[in-house]
Amino acid sequence: MLQPAVAHLATPSPRWPSILRPIAMTFRIRDEKPGDWHAREALLDTCFGPARLEKTCERLREGRLPAQGLSFVAADTAGLVATLRLWHIEAGDRAALLLGPLAVAPARRSAGIGAALVEHGLRRARRLGHRAVLLVGDAPYYERFGFAHDLAAGFTLPGPVDEDRFLARELVPGALAGARGRVVGAGEFMREPRVAPHHRAAA
């Protein structure tokens, strides 16, 4: 799937007014492949650093496989530029998904790639029959996709979290109605958990 993006050259010039014309760029969203693993880990390290493995949401993903059919990357002619995965969780007594991490290469931010990945992931999740999605992220960014804090208010995570960043969205109306309790990981465990190259070298 090709998605258009628009960028402008950073330095205007009075001698060449046409330098401000938009430059069309494209990227393609596709399902993640096994061969994307090293590029994806490198991108996550670039965007979040090693501290990403200490986040509370990582306790829900640790050692588990993403939900089937819900791992995506965005690529352009330079290679992989963004990634998004969704994971099985149990939110109280409700089956749901955890969205994240969403990462976009610094040079390609503000081009709509992250938004396109989120929309693509939510559409696929709904088609696959999932009913609700939770995440920890910036509310002003994710509210545009229908996420809200009040839908997550009845749940607790296995570690500290900024409550204002704990959000949820119902893919099926009423899917989280009356639900409360602890959020736990529910996905299938990996047979041999992978370790990112820089973590392996430091071990």
Q: Could you tell me the CATH number of the domain that includes residue 121?
A: 3.40.630.30
Q: Which pTM value belongs to this model?
A: 0.83
160 in a structural domain? yes
Q: Is residue 123 part of a domain?
A: yes
With respect to residue 126, please indicate whether it lies within any of the assigned structural domains.
yes
Q: How far is CA 180 from the centre of its chain?
A: 24
Tally of structural domains, the chain:
1
Question: Which structure tokens are listed for 103?
Answer: 């990462």
Q: How far apart are CA 23 and CA 8, in angstroms?
A: 6
Gap between the Cα atoms of 95 and 84, Å rounded: 20
Q: Tell whether 82 is covered by a domain.
A: yes
13: CB partners within 8 A, 6+ apart? 19
Q: Which residues contact 78 (CB under 8 A, 6 or more apart)?
A: none
- Is 52 inside any structural domain? yes
Asked whether residue 8 carries a pLDDT value surpassing 70, the answer given is no
Tens of pLDDT, residue by residue over 41-67, are 999 999 999 889 889 999 999 999 999
Q: Which domain holds residue 9?
A: 2-186
Residue 199 is assigned to a structural domain of this protein: no
- pLDDT tens-digit map of 155-173: 999 999 999 999 999 999 9
Task: For residue 163, give both structure tokens.
Answer: 């409550």
